[in-house]
């Protein structure tokens, strides 16, 4: 069964809009776990636009499933990860002007930098995943870094699905990339832009290990509560 990692960044986004103490992303994470999610995802950005250092520390202390820290290869953030020691670190590209992550990490074009960060995180007993576009060249480069997992960027598939276009071609690209990566003995996850309407086909990709979903679940939680939002998403994935 495909696992669900819930990204709780946007609980912190609401809090940071007023620079106050509520809503608390740690409380949200614990409620997601109570409902049966398989892991908690958070992105400590260099500009600290949502998740803060103290959130990360408390999440590491309180999360009982699996804490997946999304992060850039910035030396300051790498230092923090090695100190906090999340269960998993997912390396992503980061642009301060972007609203959300705009694409996959260019592992092939930044190989030595990525490889050195993978090595450092691995030496700190942190499992490493690379967030990449569903491209064979990027998958091959990812294998060479020593990372054991990739997370395929589903943004183009989600964009096609949500705009009413036929997403079949984009879905096949994801499926083919997943098969290629698994053939290289990588664990394959996926995420970005997945929601309650488009998640099922991705969850059905053979060998898919985990889907990481944030914005859609937090948005749904406004209307039904976070426990029900997680329950509904898991139901669709199953």
Supply the residues annotated as catalytic: 43, 70, 192
| φ, ψ at 153 (rounded to 5°) | -75, 115
Residues 6 or more apart whose CB falls under 8 angstroms from that of 41 comprise 5, 6, 7, 8, 9, 68, 69, 70, 90, 212, 214
In angstroms, the CA 211 to CA 3 distance is 6
């Amino acid at each position: 069964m495909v696992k669900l990692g819930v990204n709780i960044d946007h609980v912190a986004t609401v809090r940071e809009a007023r620079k106050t103490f509520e809503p608390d992303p740690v409380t949200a994470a614990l409620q997601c776990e109570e409902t049966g999610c398989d892991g908690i995802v958070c992105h400590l950005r260099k500009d600290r636009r949502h998740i803060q250092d103290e959130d990360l520390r408390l999440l590491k202390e309180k999360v009982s499933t699996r804490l997946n820290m999304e992060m850039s290869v910035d030396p300051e953030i790498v230092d923090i990860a090695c100190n906090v020691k999340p269960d998993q670190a997912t390396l992503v590209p980061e642009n301060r002007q972007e609203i959300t992550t705009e694409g996959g990490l260019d592992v092939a074009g930044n190989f030595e930098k990525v490889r050195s960060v993978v090595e450092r995180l691995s030496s700190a007993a942190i499992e490493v995943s690379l967030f990449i576009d569903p491209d064979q060249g990027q998958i091959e480069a990812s294998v060479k870094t020593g990372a054991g997992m990739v997370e395929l960027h589903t943004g183009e598939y989600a964009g096609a699905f949500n705009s009413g276009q036929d997403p079949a071609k984009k879905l096949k690209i994801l499926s083919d990339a997943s098969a290629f990566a698994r053939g290289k003995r990588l664990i394959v996850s996926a995420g970005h832009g997945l929601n309650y309407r488009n998640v099922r086909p991705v969850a059905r990709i053979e060998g898919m290990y985990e889907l990481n979903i944030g914005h859609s679940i937090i948005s749904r939680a406004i209307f039904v509560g976070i426990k029900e939002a997680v329950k509904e998403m898991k139901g669709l994935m199953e």
